[in-house]
Amino acid sequence: MRHQYHPLGFEGSRIAQGFWRCHEWEMSVSERLDFIMSCLDLGVTTFDHADIYGDYRCEGLFGEALAKKPAMRDKMEIVTKCGILLPSESRPDISVHRYDYRAKHIHESVDRSLANLQCDYIDTLLLHRPSPLMDADEVAQAFDLLFTLGKVKHFGVSNFTPAQFDLLQSRLDAPLIVNQIELSPLSLAPFEDGTLDHLQQHAVTPMAWSPLAGGELFRGNGDRVVRVKEVVSDIAKSMGVNFDQVVIAWLLRHPSGICPVMGSGKIERLASVCQAANIVLSDDDWFKIWITSQGHPVP
């Protein structure tokens, strides 16, 4: 008998909170707990991790806080990633920065993540980067066992092309429900290379990492960045909203259902961004940002 997977796709919050920089936030355990609880109060219930974040430390920092109030686990969706081997003082067993999607490594990574996060299951496990040595059949077997054991509920990928996505999906009974990709007004490739069209076709949720272009939209001074900043600022001023709200609203406006992953450890920044869900950009304003970033009119 084949295992029965949940028929629904991604059921996380419209905006996710990322923890890839939480080791830089210099928060105590109680401050981390307060931050997570405040996220939940804002309706941000999806928390994004990876085993390697913060030199393999960030999952553990989150887990320390979660352990102080484990009842929170039922109110959140935890996303984490595996597959990157990163040489580190904390991982002397890793000598080369590379990828590993052997079943053994996937299982070991999930067990470490569960121990670090101090929880019993992962809502969605993503393969962090595509590997030229990925054996889709072996990955499928690993996923199937992880689901059967109750360690992972859903699966997805990150930074996969449509062809790489389809290869893995062809071996799976369960639908891949997420592809986490770089998306922002300065990262337009997925809009143009078929990635978002492919995800929309298959009802897969795009999660956007670096939706504010890794801070480049605030700090950058190149010609393209300056052009985009000016047009976003003009739109924000005309609508009486904040700059970052316009950027996030621009992503939310896309019909593929993009879920931006925010990275700030300041709850007031997240609270501001959450208001972007109430902002609907006109087609004119959406295309102003698009055209400005491309540097030429639409054909």
Helix (H, G, I), strand (E, B) or coil at 106: helix
**CA–CA distance, 245 with 240 (Å, rounded to integer):** 10
Beta strands 205-209 and 259-262: pairing type? parallel
**CA–CA distance, 169 with 41 (Å, rounded to integer):** 35
Ramachandran quadrant class, 215 (left: phi over 0; alpha: psi -120 to 50; beta: rest): left
**CA–CA distance, 154 with 264 (Å, rounded to integer):** 26
Q: 247: Cβ–Cβ under 8 A, 6 or more apart, which residues?
A: 184, 185, 211, 212, 217, 232, 276
Catalytic residue among 5, 53, 56, 99: 53
CA 122-212-25 angle, 5° bins: 60
**CA–CA distance, 160 with 178 (Å, rounded to integer):** 10
Sign of CA dihedral 80, 279, 222, 287: positive
In the annotation, is 53 catalytic? yes
Q: Indicate which residues carry an active-site annotation.
A: 53
